[in-house]
Chain A
Amino acid sequence: QVQLQESGPRLVKPSETLSLTCGVSGYSIGRGSYWGWMRQPPGKGLEWIGTISHSGTTYFNPSPTGRVIMSVDTSKNQLSLRLTSVTAADTAVYYCARHSNITPGRVGPFDIWGQGTVVTVSS
């Protein structure tokens, strides 16, 4: 059974860097798949932040422009998300999720999601 678990600080100060990890169990990242990060501000809809492949190829949402860093660590079987220069607008529940492998050459929908972690940006 594939499971994802987000972890990281729940409170981040404005202008600092938000850092989250997503531990993957029941599936080896090195086998090959794509992984996404999403967020959901309080009372709002889902927003895709970016996607990373098992080999480190990344795709980002133009917004938040230039502030996102994503990486994959196959030895630890985990993903990482860093968001720099945060503001209150970055307060949200952050999710990691796996893209399903249903279409060769194209990322699939998100079939496995982590439980999400609440991050608040405040001084």
Chain B
Amino acid sequence: EIVLTQSPATLSLSPGERATLSCRASQSISSYLAWYQQKPGQSPRLLIYDASNRATGVPARFSGSGSGTDFTLTISSLEPEDFAVYSCQQRSDWPLTFGGGTKVEIK
């Protein structure tokens, strides 16, 4: 099973600041990594797929990078609606796995 480790667990930032979230895979997953945003009481929303492609309707302040085992989600300038939990997910191999999530909270 491919284990995805996200760091940090919690990121405390202010609106307007830059957020950098990490997802590390236990083995190479090429670029088969997606990022999801989840707000309290809501279902996850696909933000980024295949490491760096924004999903439909996702603002340009969200960007993804990486390949192999190390991936990054960057939010260039945090908006109030961006404070949420972000999870990564790999589709390189079965079983599909998710990371434990990073909570981006208001400082």
User: Chain B: which residue is nearest A60 at the CB level?
Assistant: B95
Given known A-B contacts A46-B89, A102-B50, A109-B34, A95 and B95 have beta carbons under 8 A apart: no
CB of A84 to closest CB in B, whole Å: 19
Given known A-B contacts A100-B49, A107-B91, A109-B34, A116 and B96 have beta carbons under 8 A apart: no
B87 touches A110 (CB 8 A): no
Cβ of B42: which chain A residues have Cβ within 8 Å of it?
115
Cβ of B46: which chain A residues have Cβ within 8 Å of it?
100, 109-111
Is residue A91 within 8 Å, beta carbon to beta carbon, of the partner chain?
no
B45 touches A113 (CB 8 A): yes
A109 touches B98 (CB 8 A): no
User: Chain A: which residue is nearest B55 at the CB level?
Assistant: A111
User: Chain B: which residue is nearest A111 at the CB level?
Assistant: B46
Main SS of the interface on chain B? loop
For A103-119 the 0/1 string (1 means CB < 8 A from B) is 00011111101111000
Partner of A116, one of B32, B43, B55: B43
Cβ of B101: which chain A residues have Cβ within 8 Å of it?
45-46
Tell me the B53-107 residues at the A interface (CB within 8 Å).
Answer: 55, 87, 89, 91, 94-101
Range of interface residues on chain B? Answer: 20 to 34
B49 touches A48 (CB 8 A): no
Is residue A42 within 8 Å, beta carbon to beta carbon, of the partner chain?
no
Bound: A97/B91 CA distance, A: 14
CB of B55 to closest CB in A, whole Å: 7
Cβ of B87: which chain A residues have Cβ within 8 Å of it?
45-46
Interface centre among B49, B96, B97, B100 (most CB of A within 10 A): B96
Q: Which residues of B are in contact with A by a Cβ distance under 8 Å?
A: 1, 32, 34, 36, 42-46, 49-50, 55, 87, 89, 91, 94-101
